[in-house]
Amino acid sequence: MHFETLAIHDGQAPDPQTGSVTVPVYQTSTFGRDSLDERSEFFYSRIGNPTRKALEESLALLENGKYGLAFGSGVAATMAALQVLKPGDHIVAGNDIYGGSYRIFEQLLRPWGVTTSYTDNESMESYEACITPATKLIWIETPSNPLLQLCDIRALASLAKERGILLAVDNTFASPYFQRPLELGADIVVHSTTKYLGGHSDVIGGAVITSETAIHTAIKNYQGAAGAVPGPWDCWLILRGLKTLKIRMKEHEATAMHLAKMLEGHPAVEQVFYPGLASHPQHELAKTQMSGFGGMVTFSLKGGLPAVKKLLATIKLFVLADSLGGVESLISSPAKMTLWALSQAERDRRKCTDNLVRLSVGLENAEDLEADLLNALGTP
C-alpha cells in the first residue's frame, strides 16, 4: 500500500468493541485481571497501553520497520536507543547534530564510560577516521540540525556492517515520508515525534524504530524499566498527526523551496542551506536517498549577529521559537537558542556561527511568508 494509506489505516483499525474509526484514548493507569494466574497483554500502562501500541505499530509501518517504540520525548527516545551500548563502548557521531543529543553524549554517557568522537565533516573518510576497536555505534542526523548537511546512509551502513557496528539515524528533519533509513541499511531510526510526525506544536514525544529483534528487545526492556513513556492522550495526538503527514510534508517542502530560492538571490544573505537547491554541496546525494527535501531552511546573514537581531525583531508571521515541524512557521537563531548550551569553541567547531538563522517553514501562504521575510530583511 502507499504511504498515505498506511498512515491512515494500518495499526489504526476501527475499535472492535464500539466501531470507533479513531483509536480510543485508553486513559487508564492499570487494567483489571481475570484471575491471579492470568495476565493479558495490557496490565499496567507503563508497560503497555492500547493507544500507545497503535502508535508504535503505525510508526514501524511508516518507517518500513518491524518494531516501533514510543517515548515521552525525542531525547528520551535517543537515550533509549543508546541502551544497546555498555561502559567501554565508543560512538562516532556526526559533526552537526542536535544540541540535546550532544548533551546526552557528553553529560550522561561519558561519565558512564561511553565515549564519543565527532567527525570533522560528513565525508566517509571523516567517519572512517574516527572508528576505533571500541566503536559500537555510528550516530547521524541527515539532514542535520541546523546546517542541513547530509550523510550517505547507504555508504555508512555498508561501512558499519563491515566493521560490526550499528548505524542509528535521527530522521526527524526528513520524516518517514521523505526518507526511510532502514530501507537504506540503517539499524535504528530515531524521531522526535514532537516535530513533523505530531505536526501541530501541541505534543512532546519520541520514537525508536528497528527491524532487529535483539535491538528491539533491549530498548523495549529499557522502556518498561525506565518508564519514559508517553501518555495515551499524547499518543493519540501523534496518531492524528500521522494521518496528514503526506499532505503537510509536501506543502512544507513546496514553500521551503520557494523561500530558499528567494533567499539565495537576496543581497543581504550570505549563504542558504537547503538540500533542494542545486547549490547545496550534497544536492545529488539528497536526490538519491530522499524523495523530497523537507521544510527546514537555514541561511546566514552578511551583517552578523546585529543583522540577525534586526531580522528577528522585525519579522511578523514567523514566530521566534525553539521547535520545528508545526503548521505555523517558526524562526530561530541556532547559536543563541537551540545550541546555546554548547561552548563557543564547540559552536565554532561545528561552524554554527552567530549569523545563522533557521526557518521551520509552516503551512501559511508562500507569498505571505516571502513578503514577511523581504520586509524583515530590508535593504542591506
Which domains occur in the chain, in start order?
A: 3-242 (3.40.640.10), 247-377 (3.90.1150.10)
Q: What is the pLDDT along the chain (380 residues), one digit of tens a residue?
A: 787 777 777 666 777 777 788 899 999 999 898 888 888 889 899 999 999 999 999 999 999 999 999 999 999 999 999 999 999 999 999 999 999 999 999 999 999 999 999 999 999 999 999 999 999 999 999 999 999 999 999 999 999 999 999 999 999 999 999 999 999 999 999 999 999 999 999 999 999 999 999 999 999 999 999 999 999 999 999 999 999 999 999 999 999 999 999 999 999 999 999 999 999 999 999 999 999 999 999 999 999 999 999 999 999 999 999 999 999 999 999 988 977 767 788 777 888 899 999 999 999 999 999 999 999 998 65
Catalytic annotation, residues: 46, 98, 170, 195
Strand 356-360 vs strand 330-332: parallel, antiparallel, or unpaired? antiparallel
Pairwise CA distance, residues 286 & 8, whole Å: 27
SS3 42: coil
Contact 130, 122 (CB under 8 A): no
Name the grid cell of 299: 541561511
**Global model pTM greater than 0.85:** yes
User: Pick from 10, 168, 151, 163: which is nearest to 80 by CA?
Assistant: 168
Q: Residue 106 half-sphere exposure, CB side, CA atoms within 13 Å?
A: 14
* Phi and psi angles of residue 102, each rounded to the nearest 5 degrees, phi first: -60, -40
Pairwise CA distance, residues 350 & 120, whole Å: 8
Query: What are the residues whose beta carbons fall under 8 Å from the beta carbon of 112, sequence distance 6 or more?
Result: 87
Pairwise CA distance, residues 205 & 220, whole Å: 16
Contact 99, 127 (CB under 8 A): no
